[in-house]
């Protein structure tokens, strides 16, 4: 099988950055011509039944969280997102050797992206969200086409789930799963399994099932990746680790360093618009207005001057948001002020392009 070379998720915990905050980042690399939108969805009580991308499940009996999602427009779920409890999640496609029965990813079940959104809507901490995802995975399973136009694009999933104090890596194979807790340092995942012998939580009867599938002898130390992996992008995984190691060496990692990693082209962590799986939010042929203006001035003309202006403008708004966060922590800011900053940021970019 030829795996799409797409998607990377990163997290740097508070002991490695200058502001002592968890910094999370993800590139969403999706098929050409697919619109990916950023949406806010208000929480609260919902109906008893919930229609996800392919199947209907039981809705939570409790009010769900407000969420901000970056999602392919055609599906219910999302590639990444955050909730109003300060939980963030990003997912990756992975391929495993567990492809029959509950592990058959061709069957329409919950998409990995549906599980991500459900974790954000129902989880108030990173560990809560992990529990939500794994519980629903064991009930409903995962599977179904992950592309709007390609019925043969399907996979299992891995995740980084973080909140202000800790992060978890969750990796799955059908209904089976393992999770590793991160309390310091940094971590990245690409499109392959990474959890080996450090397993802090796992699905019930994981070891018995692995042994019955003749993937583990029951005597050597259990290694999830060795048992279940059927391949991945080792090169991009290694490149991401190197970028994180170098960027965190001074223990002063910040959001601009994360931007640098996400924009790194030589490693293919950032993929161009001409790639079959480009790193884009709103892509050619069905562009949103701002993307159309950006493409005309930056991508097509390769205008280095305007790129420099954009970077300077971006840095200015990062500073404004950092100031906002500091005053928010002290109780002197409101969400309305953040709305104004974001609106001003978009309007400034539109004017820059002459729109």
Catalytic residues: 7
Phi first, then psi: give them for residue 314, nearest 5 degrees.
-60, -45
Contact in structure between 288 and 35 (CB atoms under 8 Å): yes
Residue 11, strand partner residues: 24, 187
For residue 321, which of 83, 42, 21, 63 has the smallest C-alpha distance?
A: 21
Within 10 Å of residue 300's Cβ, how many Cβ atoms? Answer: 10
Rg (C-alpha) for the chain, rounded Å, is 20
Residues 6+ apart with CB under 8 A from 338: 321, 324
- Sequence length of the chain is 355
DSSP 39: E
Q: Encode burial over 148-168: b for 16+ CB neighbours within 10 A, e otherwise.
A: eeeeeebbbbbbbbbbeebbb
313: buried, middle or exposed (CB in 10 Å: 19+, 13-18, 0-12)?
Answer: middle
DSSP 142: B
Could you give the angle at the alpha carbon of 92 between the alpha carbons of 33 and 242, nearest 5°? Answer: 110
């Amino acid at each position: 099988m030829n795996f799409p070379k797409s998607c990377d998720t990163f997290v740097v915990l508070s002991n490695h950055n200058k502001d002592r905050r968890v910094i999370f980042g993800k590139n969403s690399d999706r098929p050409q011509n697919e619109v990916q939108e950023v949406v806010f969805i208000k929480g609260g009580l919902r109906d008893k039944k919930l229609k996800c991308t392919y199947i209907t499940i039981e809705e939570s009996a409790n009010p769900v969280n407000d969420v901000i999602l970056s999602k392919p427009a055609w599906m219910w779920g999302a590639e990444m997102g955050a909730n109003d409890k300060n939980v963030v999640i990003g997912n990756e496609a992975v391929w495993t050797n567990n492809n029959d029965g509950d592990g058959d990813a061709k069957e329409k079940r919950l998409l990995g992206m549906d599980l991500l959104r459900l974790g954000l809507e129902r989880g108030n901490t990173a560990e809560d969200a992990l529990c939500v995802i794994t519980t629903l995975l064991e009930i409903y399973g995962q599977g179904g086409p992950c592309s709007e136009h390609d019925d043969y694009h399907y996979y299992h999933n891995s995740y980084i789930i973080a909140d202000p104090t800790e992060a978890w890596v969750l990796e799955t194979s059908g209904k089976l799963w393992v999770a590793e807790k991160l309390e310091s340092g940094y971590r990245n995942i690409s499109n392959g399994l990474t959890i080996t012998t450090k397993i802090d939580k796992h699905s019930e009867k994981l070891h018995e099932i692995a042994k019955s599938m003749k993937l583990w002898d029951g005597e050597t130390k259990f290694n999830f990746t060795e048992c279940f992996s059927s391949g991945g992008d080792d090169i991009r995984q290694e490149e991401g680790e190197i970028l994180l190691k170098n960027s965190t060496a001074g223990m002063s990692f910040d959001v601009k360093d994360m931007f640098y990693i996400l924009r790194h082209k030589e490693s293919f962590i950032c993929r161009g618009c001409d790639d079959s799986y480009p790193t884009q939010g709103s892509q050619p042929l069905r562009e949103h207005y701002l993307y159309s203006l950006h493409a005309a001035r930056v991508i097509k003309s390769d205008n280095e001057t305007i790129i420099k202006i954009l970077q300077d403008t971006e840095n200015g708004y990062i500073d404004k948001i950092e100031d906002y966060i500091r005053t928010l922590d002290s109780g002197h800011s409101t969400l309305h002020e953040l709305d104004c900053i974001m609106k001003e940021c978009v309007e400034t970019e539109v004017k820059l392009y002459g729109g």
